Amino acid sequence: MSAQCCYKTNNLPIFFNSNENLVNPPPKDHLQLVLIESGCTSIQINRCRCFIQSGALIFRCADTQAHVFYNKKLKAKSIAFKPEIFELQKHNFLADKRKAHFFQELPLYLFFEVNPAYVGVLPIDNISSPKVYALFSSAIYELENKPDNNWQSRVLVNLIELLLLSDDEYKRFTNKENLTTSIAHLTLEYIRAHYDKDISISLLCRTFHTNHTTLLRGFRELTGTTVGQYLIDYRLKLVCEALIYTSLTLGEIALKFGFKRASYMSRVFRNRIGVTPGQYRQNRACLSCNRAKD
């Protein structure tokens, strides 16, 4: 028995299914993100037969051609949504669907990309999988329980985090970033999956069984910056997305992305971005409204 629910913002729904079997396609004009939690499935996607095990994400649109051959002890969850919901939640205005530039900030290409290495199935590595599971579960919890007036924004910010993390995983999986098990690359992946936690050089050295000098030198050679600077910049990237696409308070955004205090986040944000978080949110709202009028 599947559990399914939806909410509507300006008549644009989001659906979740806690017992996804992959048989039915997502609704028309919707994008569907599926997490394979356990078990396996044999499925043909866009004429490519895939054997998919736990720890993978599947990205589907309504036009994705799929046929399930069998599921074995499959446990999967899915979330389906219209991409326009990000813009409508953001500023409460109707955008022309043809204006694709509205959505360039989010990696929605994952639902449409087809190439020899990728047909919409993305394996998640062991470092990132706990974060993916947590974000998926959090989004479904908010959809199912609606604990307060901000539940819609928390659904959106969890989806945004999932998409951005998946974008990083896609680049690694398709070798658009150098696929290597070097300490520097592992550190990079660790930061992308644990940005909301306290991350110290000592912790990273213990995790990857190395010393400070080797870790710091390799990371700077790979990224051109320090671990601390990269972590702050990555957090600020997520803060910017939350400011654009949700109405979460600065306090909730700060806690979600590892800043602990809104005052500290605001100070760092202004030093790096040049404006306060509130000014950034207002400026982007004005920019989007002006685009909608064009």
Interatomic CA distance for residues 30 and 27, integer angstroms = 5
Is-contact 88 12, C-beta < 8 A?
yes
3-state secondary structure 147-202: CCCCHHHHHHHHHHHHHHHHHHHHHHHCCCCCCCCCHHHHHHHHHHHHCCCCCCHH
Tell me which residue of 76, 77, 94, 72 sits closest to 85, measured CA to CA. Answer: 94
Higher-pLDDT residue of 286 and 219 is: 219
Percent of the chain whose pLDDT exceeds 70: 84
pLDDT digits (tens, 9 = 90+) for 232-242: 999 999 999 99
Paired strand residues for 8: 13
Interatomic CA distance for residues 40 and 68, integer angstroms = 11
Domains and CATH numbers, the chain: 4-125 (2.60.120)
Higher-pLDDT residue of 88 and 131 is: 131
pLDDT digits (tens, 9 = 90+) for 243-275: 999 999 999 999 999 998 999 999 999 999 999
pLDDT category, 282, cuts 50, 70, 90?
confident
* Residue with tokens 């709202």, as numbered in its chain: 285
| Mean pLDDT confidence for 5-12 | 47
Is-contact 174 109, C-beta < 8 A?
no
Residues with Cβ within 8 Å of 244's Cβ and at least 6 positions away in sequence, in order, are 90, 105, 281, 284
| Mean pLDDT confidence for 160-183 | 81
* Residue with tokens 């290495």, as numbered in its chain: 117
| Mean pLDDT confidence for 137-156 | 92
Helical packing angle, 277-293 and 84-91, nearest 10°: 120
pLDDT category, 63, cuts 50, 70, 90?
confident
